[in-house]
Amino acid sequence: AQQFGADYPKSRTDVPNPFNNTYKTADNKWLYICQPQHNRYYNDMMKIIGRDDLVDDPRYATIENVKANHLQPELITILDEGFSKKDLEEWLKILAEWDVPSQKVFRFTDILKDDEAYVNDAIRKVKYNAFGEHALPTTPIRFGGYGDPPIILSKPIGYHTAEYLEQYGYTPEQIAELEEKGAVKCYHGEEVPDVIFKSERQEKGEAPCNW
């Protein structure tokens, strides 16, 4: 897009097509609409937001005139005012009735509460002794013969330092000297067993654990 003059970053108040944009609703939520055929659906959009007075308005009715005269900010302001008058759920119902592709713009907190995200293993809950239960994103790449990959709780810092240094020929005395100088950090606590967090579908027996 940059090669064709679309400079970034962009502002939602100056997008090429105002019908492919985000709008704030009365309940302080955000709505995304994607109606790429501006000319065909212009009158519908004006009726939807209660601006029948702008039906067939030559300034905004064709995307060619909107772009030629840089009227996107004006039309977006009109749409902003229209969408600000109703709550998100009401708009989603209205737009569905008019066959306008639309959806809620999700916040991070919405995703963390979305059951489908866990069912599809897009994110997975893990539990840390120090931080409690939180969610982590998982890899989007899956192999049929491997299944959902494991998420293994990390070990304390320096947990394997001495083990690997010994494999490379360092003596315990040399490792202690390196640690005293601050060159490495070694863990000196009790053994920490592996803690593996399975996907929700693995926990339910609906997916194999091939690892």
Q: What is the pLDDT of residues 71-121, one digit of tens each?
A: 999 999 999 999 999 999 999 999 999 999 999 999 888 999 999 999 999
Domain shared by 87 and 137, yes or no: no
Domain shared by 32 and 82, yes or no: yes
In this prediction, residue 7 carries a pLDDT of: 76
Domain count, the chain: 2
Q: What angle do CA 8, 11, 17 make, to 5 degrees?
A: 95
In a domain, 82, yes or no: yes
In a domain, 208, yes or no: no
Please list the ranges in the chain whose pLDDT falls under 70. Answer: none
In this prediction, residue 61 carries a pLDDT of: 98
Q: What angle do CA 111, 131, 115 make, to 5 degrees?
A: 25
Q: Rounded CA gap, 52 and 45, in Å?
A: 9
Domain shared by 167 and 135, yes or no: yes
In this prediction, residue 197 carries a pLDDT of: 94
Query: Who contacts 136 (Cβ-Cβ below 8 Å, separation ≥6)?
Result: 123, 124, 126, 151
In this prediction, residue 3 carries a pLDDT of: 79
129: containing domain = 125-203
In this prediction, residue 131 carries a pLDDT of: 84
